[in-house]
Amino acid sequence: MFEYQGSLIIKYNLKLLTGLRIGGSKEQFEIGGVDNPVIKIGFPVFEYDGENTLPKDAPYIPGSSLKGKMRSLLEWDRGKVKNNCEKAQKEIPQPKNEDDIKKQLEIAGSVCKCGKCEICKIFGTGDVEKLKKLSINEQPGPPRLKVFDAYPTWDSIKSLKRF
């Protein structure tokens, strides 16, 4: 088996070039209710850079959202999305009803769960049944990528307070 060699830490600053909204889903619309919830810091104060603090309810990008976007882009790049679309067309060539269309979209939009490719090795796979079928040497092991939440910089907070 392989031995742990160490960690590579990548620090970055994101620059937002277009509008961004990361939020939860709202199943029902209620009169007078919130129709577009946004993910925000839920605790009063967050220590930031030793000098400043982020206010409660400051928006942020969850690490899981960043990780999902990275995985999605890699799957497009590696042709996994194209393969899924072809598989969906093969399994349901002529959708006859809404259920067929939903099934076709589900197949086309699913993430790779093979457990063998580099994407599964980096990001992990949650398909336990598929993993049971792999030999011990084929197992991808634990996910190798850890992505943390991205909080706004203090300058971003100051610019948002102007509005």
Q: Where are the domains of the chain?
A: 45-161
pLDDT digits (tens, 9 = 90+) for 49-92: 556 667 777 788 889 889 999 999 999 999 999 999 999 999 99
Which run of H or E residues covers position 122? helix 118-123
Checking if the pLDDT of 44 tops 50, the result is no
Q: What is the pTM of this model?
A: 0.72
pLDDT digits (tens, 9 = 90+) for 107-119: 998 888 888 888 9
Q: What's the CA gap between 1 and 79, in Å, rounded?
A: 29
DSSP per-residue string spanning 35-102: SS---B--SSEEEETTTEEEETT-B-B-HHHHHHHHHHHHHHHTTHHHHHHHHHHHHSSS--SHHHHH
Amino acid identity at 115:
G
